[in-house]
Amino acid sequence: MPIRGRREAVPKSYKFAARWSLIVLVGFTISCLAHNVASFATSTDWRTTGGDAGNRRYSPLDQINRDNVQTLRVAWIYHTGDSASQIQATPIVADGVLYTTTPALAVVALRADSGTLLWRFDPFAGREREVHANRGVAYWSDSAERRIFFSAGRRLYALDASSGRPVVGFGGSGWVDLAAGLSRDVGDAYVVATSPGVVYQDLLIQGARVGEGEGSAPGDIRAYDVHTGRIRWTFHTIPHPGEPGYETWPADAWKTAGGANSWAGMSLDVDRGIVYVPTGSATPDFYGGDRHGANLFANTLLALDAKTGKRLWHFQTVHHDLWDRDLPAAPNLLTVTRAGKRVDALAQITKSGFVFVFDRVSGKPLFPVEERAVPASDLIGEQAWPTQPVPLAPAPFARQSIADADLTELSPSAHAAALKRFRTLRHDDLFAPPSREGTIVLPGFDGGGEWGGAAVDRDAGVIYVNASDVPWIAAMREVRDSAPPNIARTGAEVYAATCASCHGVDRRGKDRAPSLLDVGARLSAAQIHDVINRGRGFMPAFANLPENEKEAVIAYLLGRESEATTPSRDSSAHRATAFAPAGSSRSRPHYEFLGYERWRDSAGYPAIKPPWGTLSAIDLNTGQYLWRIPLGEHAALTEKGVPITGTEQYGGPIVTAGGLVFIAATQDEKFRAFDKSTGRLLWEAPLPAAGYATPSTYAVRGKQYVVIAAGGGKLGTKSSDTYVAFALP
């Protein structure tokens, strides 16, 4: 044993070995640090609107957690400066920069730690401004470039992420036309993209939102080259001859049929190269007399080869949809346990309140699904599909049936009025078709599940999903081909027959339809004419109205009816085809939808007992609920002693490794955090307006932030132009 303080000679071979070991150790340490820094950078960003390519809406950050969330404070506020309407976007964050959109569809880049503006791009500079929902942007980078992809109107843009300037090489001027390259020429039909596409290698895979009436564009899925904007592959959701599913439509339906589009966003299994695409209904939404059949690939979860667009598997969640049961959100990728084995899975929420769970590779349902017999339609010419798929687990996360005992009891008069109307409505099944007397749709047309989506604790196999739980009514009216000849219609008459069912007899708007009392302050006569011809959002196009009737109703809306051209005496021939798709002729009755109606009592509350909005945690390993709570409150009712009712909602949750579920979404204009294990409320804060969007969370230089768009503007709540970020003191 050596004596302390005495230095002994070390053999040269030992010195060399020691030096070499030190070099190796230092190199290994640097490598590990580099890996950790890279991992830290990745894990602290929020690079897609779904948090990651798998749309998990999960963050591994835990700086904000159960123990300290009650101390969250506002870190920064950013006002977009736009004329406020609503904001539905989820911001993304890459390398400390936050990218998002404004109510006017501008794109902004902010310092993610301060909300300081770095750049702003207005896609409507120098051209006519359009307005539609936008839920965020997509990000792509390689060693040399970084790009932001987003849509405004028909244009799909590529922007330089550093400067916000359009990338000229993309499409030749920085954008491509979303209507170009579709299955057929769609003219002026409505085509926009409300949700960003997904990036796979050098492809941007993009869906679109189209009109919901006859004459709408088809919902082709396209993959664009991120460098050039060239379409690399297309998947026809309305099959062409020789393609699978063609036999589920009338012959040559692809030439005229519309919809079956993916507007809600997509999810991506990066390692396997599979993109999962949820689609919406075929058009028109509520009457399928001209589209007999199951209508693949409408209302379908598609698994496609991301590189080629080849179909790998599919599952149709609604056959021959008559209820506007679009798949409302991108599916969530997660891993669950089955028979002691870990299975890569995905969960797809629906407007009906179902969660379908599939093996990610094979498409096999992981809980039994049965084809259940459903009621027939009593509308002439309609052929409702005789069965619909119903998962036997998990149980629905929203109510799907209503009886006398479920009607509101907020007051005796409210109950009596609800009961009287209830007895006139069809309500025999979740899939009771729309009818002339009116059919109760529960959950309503917007869900149930909606575009805010769900979040998953990816390793625990738990899904967190919020839901609106209120009834709507689907009523139809008959439109016959034999219009009375030689009858001229005034603008008021055209409005009453064509517009009032949605916008209201008083033009004040209701539900999805905006007020038209001040439409002249927002739109010119030419712009209104364009909306009539092309449709917008949920409004179908009415291009086949006679031109003089268009002029008459525009003058009526602008308060200038005396200036309108007198309707011609022979306009009935045109009017007879006003609701017919191009090239068709009808000798039988046809039906049109009377308009979107939430079923409310005279005080404006849902005509059903609470809860009207919930948040649920479901263990997808077992299909069992961990907890369910009402989400949101109506203060006026709470003050009267009514237990927390929950409210209608738009926007979804995120979940974190800190044990938290963050969600806004409610009418009461609050942002909340819950314990993900128990559902206990841990924190809430007021917002400048309701947060009808899904939040995101990220870290900059080790500090975690949570950000939410507080745009309001729906469900009767005020509008704002604000993003709010929260952090610990």
Is 278 found in the same domain as 146? yes
Helix (H) or strand (E) run with residue 522 in it: helix 519-522
Residues 6+ apart with CB under 8 A from 528: 519, 554, 557, 558
Domain end: 523, 544, 576, which one? Answer: 576
Residue 501: inside a domain, yes or no?
yes
Q: Which two tokens stand for residue 158?
A: 């590529």
In this predicted structure, what is the pLDDT of residue 584? 45
What is the Cα–Cα distance from 245 to 295, expressed in whole angstroms? 8
141 DSSP β-pair partners: 146
In this predicted structure, what is the pLDDT of residue 568? 41
The CATH number covering residue 513 comes to 1.10.760.10
In this predicted structure, what is the pLDDT of residue 544? 61
For residue 277, which of 198, 200, 176, 209 has the smallest C-alpha distance? Answer: 198
Residue 406: inside a domain, yes or no?
yes
Helix (H) or strand (E) run with residue 547 in it: helix 547-557
Is 505 found in the same domain as 535? yes
Is 468 found in the same domain as 612? yes
What is the Cα–Cα distance from 134 to 235, expressed in whole angstroms? 23
What is the Cα–Cα distance from 190 to 577, expressed in whole angstroms? 20
Residue 512: inside a domain, yes or no?
yes
Is 534 found in the same domain as 462? no
Is 469 found in the same domain as 509? no
311 DSSP β-pair partners: 304
What is the Cα–Cα distance from 536 to 132, expressed in whole angstroms? 8
pLDDT along the chain (729 residues), means of 10: 33 39 39 37 82 98 98 98 90 98 97 98 94 96 95 98 98 97 95 98 98 94 98 98 98 97 98 98 96 98 98 98 98 96 98 98 98 97 98 98 97 96 97 98 97 94 98 92 59 75 74 76 79 69 73 82 48 35 52 93 96 98 98 97 97 98 98 98 98 98 98 94 98
Report the 3 state secondary structure along 122-140.
Answer: CCCCCCCCCCCCCCCCEEE
In this predicted structure, what is the pLDDT of residue 541? 66
Q: Which two tokens stand for residue 693?
A: 């969007």
Report the 3 state secondary structure along 5-73.
Answer: CCCCCCCHHHHHHHHHHHHHHHHHHHHHHHHHHHHHHHHHCECCCCCCCCCCCEECCCCCCCCCHHHCE
What is the Cα–Cα distance from 104 to 124, expressed in whole angstroms? 9
In this predicted structure, what is the pLDDT of residue 5? 34
The CATH number covering residue 267 comes to 2.140.10.10
Is 488 found in the same domain as 471? no
Q: Are 593 and 474 in contact (CB under 8 A)?
A: yes
3-state class (DSSP) for residue 681: strand
Is 404 found in the same domain as 448? yes
DSSP 224-260: EETTT--EEEEE-SSPPTTSTTGGGSSTTGGGT--B-
Residues 6+ apart with CB under 8 A from 142: none
Q: Which two tokens stand for residue 378?
A: 């009593």
Helix (H) or strand (E) run with residue 79 in it: strand 73-79
What is the Cα–Cα distance from 267 to 207, expressed in whole angstroms? 12
Exposure of 311 in the CB half-sphere (CA atoms within 13 A): 16
Residue 44: inside a domain, yes or no?
no
What is the Cα–Cα distance from 214 to 516, expressed in whole angstroms? 23
Is 124 found in the same domain as 271? yes
What is the Cα–Cα distance from 695 to 685, expressed in whole angstroms? 14
Residue with tokens 């899975």: 345
Residue 6: inside a domain, yes or no?
no
What is the Cα–Cα distance from 208 to 203, expressed in whole angstroms? 16
In this predicted structure, what is the pLDDT of residue 482? 46
What is the DSSP-derived secondary structure letter of residue 346?
Answer: E
Domain end: 518, 544, 576, which one? Answer: 576
- Helix axis angle for 547-557 and 525-534, nearest 10°, is 130
What is the Cα–Cα distance from 449 to 61, expressed in whole angstroms? 26
Residue 351: inside a domain, yes or no?
yes
Residues 6+ apart with CB under 8 A from 591: 286, 287, 289, 379, 381, 382, 476, 477, 478, 479
Residue 87: inside a domain, yes or no?
yes
What is the Cα–Cα distance from 154 to 105, expressed in whole angstroms? 12
pTM for this model (two decimals): 0.87
Question: CA-based angle 188:193:197, to the nearest 5?
Answer: 140
Q: How many structural domains does the chain have? A: 2
What is the DSSP-derived secondary structure letter of residue 398?
Answer: S
In this predicted structure, what is the pLDDT of residue 13? 38
Domain limits for position 613: 58-475+600-727
Residues 6+ apart with CB under 8 A from 123: 105, 106, 107, 152, 153, 155, 157, 175
CA dihedral sign, ordered 121, 126, 132, 138? negative
For residue 277, which of 309, 254, 302 has the smallest C-alpha distance? Answer: 302
Is 347 found in the same domain as 223? yes
Is 626 found in the same domain as 561? no
In this predicted structure, what is the pLDDT of residue 562? 59
Residue type, 611: P
What is the Cα–Cα distance from 59 to 657, expressed in whole angstroms? 6
Is 238 found in the same domain as 126? yes
Q: In whole angstroms, how far apart are CA 530 and each of 128, 340, 536, 686?
A: 11, 59, 9, 39
Is 617 found in the same domain as 517? no
